[in-house]
Amino acid sequence: MTSMPDTAAGVEARQRRAARLLAAPAMAVLALTVVIPLLFAAVLSFTRYDMISRPTWVGWENYRSLFSDPVFGTAALNTLYFAVGQVVIGVVVAFFVAMLFNRRLIGGPAMRTVIYLPQAMSYVTTALLWSLLYDPVNGPLGAIMPAVGLGPVNFLTSTHLAMPSIIVMSLWRNLGYFMIILLAGLKAVPHDLIEAAEMDGAGRLRRLIHVIVPQMSSTLFFVAVTWFLGGLQMFTQSYVMTQGGPVNTTRTVVYTLYDAAFNSLQFGRACAVSVLLLLAVAAVAVPVRIKQEISDRRLRHGH
């Protein structure tokens, strides 16, 4: 006795059940390592807790004290300064370098490897290396500055130069990774469009502005958002190179979280900082995700 052929709906239902079963272990691990700790941190953010005595419920006190704390306000502004500075400078430089590689004006696979190599280094190693470079007495940059008539420059102890110096170091470390992404986007731009614009008399600048950049808008947007979200979580550079100084000019939100938790043993306050940081990241990431979902649906339906 032959069985009736499966309907499309039945096949789809079985595929969905199989997908749920296959995803169940990963979802369980995600819940244990991410979701439950996040909920626990959210609850602790309403308490006074020092890891020694029992938590004491204080309601919104941790959040009120953070919003009235000028040091936390400075840390939030520093974090935004770092993240925006990275994106504005980094996307332009990474795109320019990707353009050079795409036009085969410099190097080849070996040069791309050299530019990508800093990405393989940890932030701690990179921060220590650049701390030596910035040393005004023994560092190479400290020796170069007097030679060009600028005198000794205190890159990491100047309130005006400390954060820009960290931004430069971070750009050097991350440039290769985002350059590779932009280079892949450039190679995906249809060459026919560029040739058509060239035949219409468009110069290089007009082809760049009116053809290449619009075709790469999704890639540029992805790089900018990813770089910005990473900048919001900056900690290692500030901790290793300046310890949040001088005068809190490089103190960030995550550094404030670390300071509250491990130096002051104010784990409730540290959890409140983490919740605020999560909300800030979600405020950027969730709209981007919704926009991407809408774009994907329009593409699937041919709009």
Instruction: Encode pLDDT of 252-277 as tens digits.
Output: 999 999 999 999 999 999 999 999 99
Region label for 248, one of left (φ > 0), alpha (ψ between -120 and 50) or beta (otherwise): left
CA distances from 205 to 100, 201, 250 (A): 14, 11, 38
The answer to the question of residue 227 being in a domain is: yes
**Separation between Cα atoms, residue 181 and residue 158, nearest integer Å:** 34
157 and 53, same domain (yes or no) = no
33-55: average pLDDT: 90
The answer to the question of residue 2 being in a domain is: no
Residue 91 token pair: 């996307």
What's residue 3's pLDDT? 47
Would you say residue 110 has pLDDT above 90? no
**Separation between Cα atoms, residue 205 and residue 185, nearest integer Å:** 18
Q: Which of 23-27, 147-151, 297-301 has the highest mean pLDDT?
A: 23-27
Contact 58, 47 (CB under 8 A): yes
Residue-range definition of the domain harbouring residue 46: 8-57
Give residue 186's identity as a one-letter amino acid code: L
What's residue 302's pLDDT? 58
What's residue 226's pLDDT? 92
44 and 86, same domain (yes or no) = no
128 and 268, same domain (yes or no) = yes
Residue 198 token pair: 């060239």
Residue 248 token pair: 């809190």
Contact 41, 260 (CB under 8 A): no
Q: 121 or 105: whose pLDDT is higher? A: 121
137 and 250, same domain (yes or no) = yes
The answer to the question of residue 50 being in a domain is: yes
Report the domain count for the chain.
2
- Closest to 102 (Cα-Cα) out of 42, 180, 36: 180
295 and 254, same domain (yes or no) = yes
The answer to the question of residue 62 being in a domain is: no
Strand partners, 57: 47
Contact 261, 267 (CB under 8 A): yes
- Closest to 166 (Cα-Cα) out of 118, 121, 116, 131: 131
Would you say residue 138 has pLDDT above 50? yes
Would you say residue 207 has pLDDT above 50? yes
What is the full DSSP assignment across 56-77?
EE-TTHHHHHHHT-HHHHHHHH
What's residue 154's pLDDT? 86
94 and 27, same domain (yes or no) = no
The answer to the question of residue 181 being in a domain is: yes
Q: pLDDT per residue over 221-261, tens digit each?
A: 989 999 999 999 999 999 999 999 899 999 999 999 999 99
107 and 181, same domain (yes or no) = yes
The answer to the question of residue 63 being in a domain is: no
What's residue 303's pLDDT? 52
If you search the block for the tokens 């953070």, which residue do you land on? 66
120 and 23, same domain (yes or no) = no
What's residue 2's pLDDT? 46
Summary mean pLDDT of the chain: 87
169-193: average pLDDT: 90
258-259-262-265 Cα dihedral, nearest 10 degrees: -120
**Separation between Cα atoms, residue 183 and residue 223, nearest integer Å:** 12
Would you say residue 5 has pLDDT above 60? no
